[in-house]
């Protein structure tokens, strides 16, 4: 949610978004309202155009898939009694991807049936994407775990924690 604030308030952070809009992002959201007010007002909105409500719905869908995958894995169990699910859910955290990309790629590759040599695919993915995880001063301000949460006021964190949808999504996605 914090990144979304910067995206809608600064055209340099999300230049693709700025090009899609008729007017600059800085004219559509008042920067003076501030990060905390933006997040709380967006989540309190009943408008389907609320970017954070759309983002929350996506998080809820993702969290639902994770929970569904965990249930299927438990039902399948080590003995193989139940039918194997038709999909695999790999619970991957953003922080893992940006802090140890090589290990993260291995985690994904562990769950794929590969028709190419694993080492070759790992090297190709690593060479192509590893440098993407460097703070660039635009969308990627910081890649440290908790850096966005630290930007929020304690009262905002309490308000977010009191919202059932937020609590459920955070829990389903493996955060606390």
CA distance 148 to 144: 9
pLDDT value of residue 26: 45
pLDDT value of residue 32: 46
Percent of the chain with pLDDT over 70: 73
CA distance 113 to 110: 8
CA distance 70 to 170: 16
Percent of the chain with pLDDT over 90: 22
| Closest to 32 measured CA to CA, from 5, 2, 67, 55 | 5
pLDDT per position as a tens digit, 99-126: 788 999 999 899 888 888 999 999 999 9
Q: How many CB atoms lie within 10 A of CB 102?
A: 11
Q: What's the mean per-residue pLDDT of the chain?
A: 78
CA distance 40 to 168: 17
The pTM score is 0.64
CA distance 109 to 119: 10
């Amino acid at each position: 949610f914090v990144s979304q604030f910067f995206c809608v308030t600064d055209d340099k952070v999300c230049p693709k978004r700025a090009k899609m809009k008729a007017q600059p992002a800085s004219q559509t959201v008042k920067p003076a309202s501030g990060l905390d007010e933006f997040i709380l007002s967006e989540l309190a909105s009943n408008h389907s155009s609320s970017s954070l409500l759309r983002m929350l719905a996506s998080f809820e869908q993702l969290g639902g898939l994770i929970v569904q995958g965990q249930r299927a894995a438990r039902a399948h169990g080590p003995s193989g009694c139940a039918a194997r699910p038709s999909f695999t859910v790999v619970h991957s955290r953003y922080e893992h991807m940006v802090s140890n990309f090589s290990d993260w790629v291995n985690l994904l590759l562990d769950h794929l049936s590969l028709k190419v040599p694993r080492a070759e695919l790992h090297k190709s993915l690593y060479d192509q994407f590893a440098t993407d995880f460097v703070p660039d001063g635009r969308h990627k301000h910081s890649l440290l775990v908790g850096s966005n949460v630290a930007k929020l006021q304690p009262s905002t964190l309490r308000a977010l924690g009191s919202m059932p949808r937020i609590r459920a999504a955070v829990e389903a996605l493996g955060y606390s």
